[in-house]
Amino acid sequence: MAGTSRHNREMMINAKKQLAECSDPIERLRLQCLSRGCAGIKGLGRTFRIMDDDNNRTLDLKEFIKGLNDYGVLMEKEEAINLFQQFDRDGSGQIDFDEFLITLRPPMSNARKEVVLQAFKKLDKTGDGVITVEDLKGVYDVRKHPKYLNGEWTEDQIFRKFLDSFDSPDDKDGKVTKDEFWNYYSGVSASIDNDVYFILMMKTAWRL
C-alpha cells in the first residue's frame, strides 16, 4: 500500500525531533499532528468536527482551545491564543476549520498534488468523491495479500482494513473522502524529501 508503515514510523520520529527545535506556532501544531502518524491531521479535524454543534464549520477561541486539549496537543494557552489569532485574519473571533486544516497540511509541490489527485480519481471508481469497499473492487488486488492467501481474511475484510489505514484510530467509518486522502498523503509526503521518489512510489503503488 502507498504510504508504507516504514514511512509512517520515520515521519513520526522526525516530527518529534523537529518539534524540540521548532518555535513557529503553526509548524509546532503541524509537527504534533505528524508525530501521531499520517492520519494525525485528520484526527485533529475530526475532534473539531465533533465540537461543531451547529454545523457552521467555524470555531471560536474557546472551542479551538478545547479541541486542542481534547486531542492531547501540548500547548500553552498564550501560544494557542496566538495561533488562533493567526487564523482569525478578519478579527471576527471565528476561524473556518476547513481553511485551518488546509493550512496545517505540510506543503506539497504541484507535481505531488497532481499524482495524489490521479490516485484518488483512480480509486474513486464511482466518481462520487468518496472511496468505499465497492470502489476498490477491481482496482486493488487482494489475491497476493498474505491474510487472503492463508484464509484468515475475506476480500471485503482486506478492503476495509485498507480503508481504515486512512482513518484516525477512533474514526473508522469505511469511507475515505478526498480531504481525508489529501490529509493522509500530505503526511506521507512530509516523510519523503525527494519529489521523484514520492511520485514513483505513488505511481508504482497505484499503477498510474
Q: Where are the domains of the chain?
A: 5-104, 110-206
Q: Report which of 167, 184, 174 is spatially closest to residue 133, judged by C-alpha positions.
A: 174
**pLDDT at position 4:** 56
pLDDT recorded at residue 121: 93
- State how far the Cα of 91 lies from the Cα of 165, in Å rounded to an integer: 38
5-104 and 110-206 agree in CATH topology = yes
CA dihedral over 20, 24, 25, 29, signed as positive or negative: negative
Model-wide pTM > 0.85? no
| Residue indicated by cell numbers 489569532 | 85
* CA nearest neighbour of 131 among 169, 207, 192, 184: 184
Res 3: pLDDT: 47
pLDDT by residue for the chain (208 residues), tens only, comes to 444 567 678 778 888 888 888 888 888 888 888 888 877 887 888 788 887 777 788 888 888 888 888 888 878 889 899 889 888 878 888 888 777 888 888 888 999 999 999 999 998 988 999 988 888 887 777 777 788 888 888 888 888 887 877 765 556 677 888 888 888 888 788 777 788 988 988 888 788 8
Of the candidates 100, 114, 110, which has an alpha carbon nearest to the alpha carbon of residue 59? Answer: 100
The bridge status of strand 94-96 relative to strand 130-131 is unpaired
The pLDDT of residue 166 is: 75
pLDDT score recorded for residue 187: 77
Give me the torsion for CA of 40, 16, 64, 38, rounded to 10°. Answer: -10
> Looking at residue 116, what is its pLDDT?
93
In words, the CATH class of domain 5-104 is mainly alpha
Spell out the residues 6+ positions from residue 114 whose beta carbon is closer than 8 angstroms to its own: none
Query: Is CATH 1.20.1080.10 what the domain over 110-206 is classified as, yes or no?
Result: no
Separation CA 95–CA 147 (nearest Å): 45
How far is CA 133 from its chain centroid? 19
